[in-house]
Structure 1
Amino acid sequence: MQGIWLWGAVAVPAALLVAIIYCYNRLVFNRARVAEAWSGIDVQLKRRSSLIPSLVSCLKAYMAHERDTLEELTSRRGEAQAHERDGAADRAAVETQLTAALLRTFALVENYPELKADGAFLDLQRNLSELEEQIQMARRYYNGAVRELNVLVESVPSNLVARSCGFTCAAYFTLDDAREGLSPKMEF
């Protein structure tokens, strides 16, 4: 009889320790996945920002009297670059403004038929369109990784481990207006 109690006294704490280690490792894995997913968004946003100077210089030749629009696009790009180290919520707000400036710019392009035939512009347009799609995919992946981490941080029993080890919920990369999540229409 004493042997059973002894095994029970050893097995219960050992099982509890294994469960704690398992929860901790899942939290670490999901936190790393959120960081990796954020890195994917960051790469795509930087690629988009790097195309904007080429776009602006291509458009300047055709859209000389649309200077305010081009200056706004350049300004929004600068703001986005200044916030590259910010978290998802702050970065989303700035990137949303850049997307809106791009949409306004491409809406004005409709007034310039000769620009719509320019090879360099068409190449930039295609690259930006592909990048917008990649940003959307990266955003969905990031938000899925955040969801998984947040579920672990908030659900029992992993929330006990999360709270004691300093894990917190991550912020989603959200848009103020769902229409801002649509890729700009750049068809000519």
Structure 2
Amino acid sequence: MDFGSLIGWIVLGVFVLLFLWVTVVYNKLVRLGVRAEEAWRGIDTLLRKRFDLIPNLVETVKGYATHEREVFERVTEARSASMKAQTPKEQAEADNVLAGTLKSLFAVAENYPELKANVNFTALQKSLEELEEEIARSRRYYNAVVRDLNTAIKVFPQNMIANLFRIKEREFYMLPSETMAEPPKVDFSR
């Protein structure tokens, strides 16, 4: 074997290794992107369940507190806005408003002991509480996946592959700053 063919084999080997490395990094970034999308769809599914539950809750309270129309309208408007949210930031802001209106709804319910004793109302409260816990777990999972994806996109030399294939960072699901100062408290135990 002469020196020229040895150099050719070395160059070919370097290109093969480079191609394999690019493939591995690209596939890793794609897998993380798919996991992030799956995590977001999981949150979306849970939010839809919550959206379906809220009208039942409102109707149950309405049966006992018909003169609280303004509260019912605010809950309905907040639910509608939350359903229209597209990005994690929009969803977090809409969820913040919805949580506030639901607190108002439960405050109204506190004034009606017969409502608090209603089996349907307590079942709806329990369902909402379980859904909120599941949504919180899903948000944490989503943010963990987004953290892994964004880190992989930013670190060298993977950032070159991400830029080459236009793989973008994802937005975290972060609560608005005013919510972080004092988290909403939902207490169904009373």
Sort the TM-score into its range (normalised by shorter chain).
over 0.9
Q: Take 1:180 and 1:104, find their aligned partners in 2: how far apart are those partners?
A: 16
Aligned length: 186
Structure 2 residue aligned with 1:57, among 56, 59, 62?
59
How far residue 95 of structure 1 moved from its aligned partner, in angstroms, is 1.8
Q: Take 1:43 and 1:184, find their aligned partners in 2: how far apart are those partners?
A: 22
How far residue 181 of structure 1 moved from its aligned partner, in angstroms, is 5.6
- Listed one character per residue, the Cα deviations across residues 104-156 of structure 1 (whole Å, up to 9, x for unaligned) are 21133222211111000011001000000011011001111111110111111
Q: Take 2:96 and 2:84, find their aligned partners in 1: how far apart are those partners?
A: 14
AA in 2 matched with 1:25: N
**1:124 corresponds to which residue?**
124
Structure 1 residue aligned with 2:33, among 31, 42, 47?
31
Q: Take 1:180 and 1:139, find their aligned partners in 2: how far apart are those partners?
A: 18
* Ranges of 4+ aligned residues in structure 1 off by more than 4 Å: 179-183
Tell me the TM-score normalized by structure 2: 0.91
**1:18 corresponds to which residue?**
20
Check the 8 A contact 2:100/2:184 in 1, yes or no. no
Check the 8 A contact 1:175/1:181 in 2, yes or no. no
Check the 8 A contact 1:129/1:183 in 2, yes or no. no
SS of the residue corresponding to residue 65 of structure 1 reads coil
Alignment RMSD, CA only?
Answer: 1.7
Structure 1, unaligned stretches of length 5 or more?
none
Tell me the TM-score normalized by structure 1: 0.92
**2:91 corresponds to which residue?**
91
Give percent identity, aligned residues only.
Answer: 35
Check the 8 A contact 1:133/1:183 in 2, yes or no. no
**2:143 corresponds to which residue?**
143
